[in-house]
Structure 1
């Protein structure tokens, strides 16, 4: 059964690790028993064809599980939990290449003792080894845990999305066949991967269960479900995230094809508006989108009609970098006075942009969500906020509102553009009940005023 779960606890990692080990042990035991049956039949003469057919138990390649993690520190934690399950409290463990693993997957910790103003979730993000490009093959043999095994000899592939994509469709090769026989795919901390590059995930899933161009295994042992292209219906997809997002739902609804069904965990959210500690007026602008494929165009068209030249102190928050490029070009075309902070801007330009905005030499500051996610800086001089789309990270909505410049002497004005497809994001910020009321209202513009 496929599963999409929203959780802020890390204990789910132990649960899915134990589940993965249980599946792997049963799978290996079946292969060993079937091999013994074939060898016993061989000693008695020719092996019956019906016996050969009944003992098909393998895929095209050896790897049967793929675990995707955003950073090396998450991969390190997974391996530690795997060792705990295999060896328990036994101090005598047999782990191949353990010293190399410790050297490559630990370290990189930053001293955050003086960063008292950073949110706790950002401190957790900065701690540990944040390398997001890695691949690790893991093989399990009796009581031996083998790390850094060649992928074609591995049982589990532990990778970051970027690291795996590089060998599927990159400079380091085209090894799509390695994903042809996966029985379990686990996406751990999908909310972080969303801020890295979700395109890596979509490209990886395009390669999963594809028919390989080369086969190195005994074809008589390959299960018919792989030969007939039915592997997606007999595999399991598990996705874990701290919050909801429409892209997670889209991935699960498109790729989760298990014949045992799909469980979508949708908690009743209370939102985080209570975290706003400044007086504000939130204007919620709803616009219509006839087709999902035209959402980006419709959002830009509505923004064009909504705003004139941006006044001094305006901060424009944009969730998508592609939308940022379009809005930036539009603002340039009408000669708006603005600067921008985005994830590809060098540090010196970011510092200069923030200084010009704070001192009023530029009226507006355009900020992307990924920039704020990886930097989490307080932007001073904000007097008006425009959310081009509600953030995918729910805390960012209240964080930006709380950046309001108290020197403005009045309530901060907030403008939020939203459409029906933003429902899941709205629930994370406004709560399930208030979101339901907002979408039930026939008004195109609604206001929430707080003192």
Structure 2
């Protein structure tokens, strides 16, 4: 069954409500797609398993395994010790005592923190469990590529497709330093992603994902050959444990189909495969025609980069690799890599009590990559947390698993301590920090990478305006919402009403805060209009017109709407930031729009900018005012600070 392309009106094209799991319209729209892409397709289920077995037999019979089958065992063991893949995912039974000790240390949160600066990575915080890696980042010579243990065929294709400007190097500086960490199988949280380095990052994690898949396959095929020879000779052989419960080893979470298509194009190039089965079907489903592309080219560059192409946020696809081919739409339990949106996987995982749900295919994930994490935060972050909570669990069914070859740490339920998690985001948030603290528990350590912020307040071009930042005191995160609301309705709002101000935009990052303020304004018959991510197009147009013409004094405006639509809002004379945006550039973007709207305002009316913040807004505040000033605003004796 072929899934239809999505006809998208790019000027107002993102229906955020579609990301809501409870939206019945979405469930109906994708009910058939769930069966097709989740791996439950009847056509695939029986025949696919048979082809899978035949494919394995064919590879084994041909004996085309990297590394001679006649290699001396001792030499192979020596080579394995040099490979971080073998050190991390090899036979942990030999190091069971060390593994147990590290797991205990993780559970007791006995991380040792090392902070250092790197010219390419910027500010690095490294968390380790012993003295390994105390010196910080490795400064290995880029010419010493063999130390990375990249599979030879993959390395050759990498040299051809990864273009480094004005250099004979095969890695950019950023790719080189990041890949060294990826290759050690440490967890990495990188929060310096932007539109300039996004493709650098996508190429390097695609290389890492393929290198991992090829090493997993090569190890299993080598061991198959050992077992076959031993059985043929009638000899006993030591226990071999080289597998997980299920085949999928890499999970990549992305926000939209356009990102999935971009990644798939890179995987095709890097794999160097002769055949890509179902490729046309994939590109038809994940791309759009030029006629469907209606994005407004006047939008900001970051918006164009995020929303060009197919922005359907409901997808999942399995990709299977063999020596000479890759297959799109592989049944999940026969796939090596799963690429999906959080919503796409959530629809399969379901919730407790659902009749049809499946998450066993996540039981043996060894590398999970979350790209464009900041965009996922603008969708439904609950889906991301739900996926992580269902990863690396003991499967409910056997799925034809050979338990005699399952690694001990899978059987012991400790796979999550060896899983590598890589998160790439434009910025850091409390939600991402929580994921880092709770779900990134790698026995080989983890690292958090960020940079020094100059502050987007420097990008404000409007002259002679006073930007007033007011700190509200609160000692409990559970109380901050109530304290912020109380301060707003008792201090900020009465003051603006007393001054008879109009054309006042109230910027609200949280939809829950938006609903709370909207209800308050309605109950107190205050002249206002509102725009949120759930407002339909006609109501948005009406609200913008009322606000521009001054028929409504206040405009309640959410961050998610601005992210997904990015309208140039006219008629703004005053802005109240109920809380600062996660996207720091929205601060300067909205203030700069005042310049074009202030020409028709009353000359006696001064522009006012008010910002409410607390110590719990540190990350947002740092991105706006800069790393050098955030400490003073949070810890200074004064509660009110003015920028002009």
- TM-score, normalised relative to structure 1: 0.93
When residues 176 and 113 of structure 1 are mapped into structure 2, their CA distance, relative to the original with a 3 A threshold, is: closer
Equivalent position to 1:29, from 215, 218, 225: 218
Equivalent position to 1:378, from 562, 568, 573: 568
Please report how far the alpha carbon of residue 428 of structure 1 lies from its aligned counterpart in structure 2 after TM superposition: 1.7
Equivalent position to 2:612, from 400, 417, 441: 417
Task: Tell me how far apart the structure 2 counterparts of residues 44 and 300 of structure 1 sit (CA, whole Å).
Answer: 78
Task: Tell me how far apart the structure 2 counterparts of residues 423 and 325 of structure 1 sit (CA, whole Å).
Answer: 24
Task: Tell me how far apart the structure 1 counterparts of residues 379 and 203 of structure 2 sit (CA, whole Å).
Answer: 24
CA offset digits 1:394-417 (Å, max 9, x no partner)? 111111112223133354211111
Task: Tell me how far apart the structure 2 counterparts of residues 303 and 114 of structure 1 sit (CA, whole Å).
Answer: 36
| Aligned residues of 1:138 and 1:156 also touching (Cα < 8 A) | yes
Whether 1:443 aligns to 2:632 is no
Task: Tell me how far apart the structure 2 counterparts of residues 123 and 394 of structure 1 sit (CA, whole Å).
Answer: 18
Larger radius of gyration: 2
Task: Tell me how far apart the structure 2 counterparts of residues 236 and 325 of structure 1 sit (CA, whole Å).
Answer: 39
With 93-102 and 294-303 compared, the bigger mean Cα shift is at: 294-303
Task: Tell me how far apart the structure 1 counterparts of residues 368 and 636 of structure 2 sit (CA, whole Å).
Answer: 40
| Aligned residues of 1:62 and 1:155 also touching (Cα < 8 A) | yes
Alignment correspondent of 1:348:
538
Task: Tell me how far apart the structure 1 counterparts of residues 593 and 433 of structure 2 sit (CA, whole Å).
Answer: 32
Whether 1:177 aligns to 2:372 is no
| Aligned residues of 1:390 and 1:425 also touching (Cα < 8 A) | yes
Please report how far the alpha carbon of residue 168 of structure 1 lies from its aligned counterpart in structure 2 after TM superposition: 0.7
Alignment correspondent of 2:370:
187
Task: Tell me how far apart the structure 1 counterparts of residues 459 and 294 of structure 2 sit (CA, whole Å).
Answer: 24
Q: Secondary structure at the match of 1:196?
A: coil
Q: How does 1:318-357 map to 2 (within 5 A)?
A: 318-357=508-547
Please report how far the alpha carbon of residue 335 of structure 1 lies from its aligned counterpart in structure 2 after TM superposition: 2.2
| Aligned residues of 1:38 and 1:47 also touching (Cα < 8 A) | no
- TM-score, normalised relative to structure 2: 0.66
| Aligned residues of 1:108 and 1:130 also touching (Cα < 8 A) | no
| Aligned residues of 2:249 and 2:367 also touching (Cα < 8 A) | yes
| Aligned residues of 1:313 and 1:363 also touching (Cα < 8 A) | yes
| Aligned residues of 1:182 and 1:235 also touching (Cα < 8 A) | yes
With 11-20 and 410-419 compared, the bigger mean Cα shift is at: 410-419
Equivalent position to 1:362, from 518, 541, 552: 552
Task: Tell me how far apart the structure 2 counterparts of residues 63 and 269 of structure 1 sit (CA, whole Å).
Answer: 39
Alignment correspondent of 1:260:
444
Task: Tell me how far apart the structure 1 counterparts of residues 236 and 259 of structure 2 sit (CA, whole Å).
Answer: 47
CA offset digits 1:298-337 (Å, max 9, x no partner)? 2222222222354321111100111111121222222221
Task: Tell me how far apart the structure 1 counterparts of residues 414 and 369 of structure 2 sit (CA, whole Å).
Answer: 19
When residues 7 and 308 of structure 1 are mapped into structure 2, their CA distance, relative to the original with a 3 A threshold, is: closer
Equivalent position to 2:340, from 152, 159, 164: 159
Q: Secondary structure at the match of 1:27?
A: helix
| Aligned residues of 1:66 and 1:185 also touching (Cα < 8 A) | yes
Please report how far the alpha carbon of residue 69 of structure 1 lies from its aligned counterpart in structure 2 after TM superposition: 0.9
When residues 214 and 436 of structure 1 are mapped into structure 2, their CA distance, relative to the original with a 3 A threshold, is: same
Q: How does 1:87-126 map to 2 (within 5 A)?
A: 87=272, 93-107=274-288, 115-116=297-298, 118-126=299-307
Please report how far the alpha carbon of residue 228 of structure 1 lies from its aligned counterpart in structure 2 after TM superposition: 0.9
| Aligned residues of 1:337 and 1:362 also touching (Cα < 8 A) | yes
Please report how far the alpha carbon of residue 363 of structure 1 lies from its aligned counterpart in structure 2 after TM superposition: 1.1
| Aligned residues of 1:108 and 1:129 also touching (Cα < 8 A) | no
Q: How does 1:263-302 map to 2 (within 5 A)?
A: 263-279=447-463, 280-302=465-487
RMSD between aligned residues: 1.9
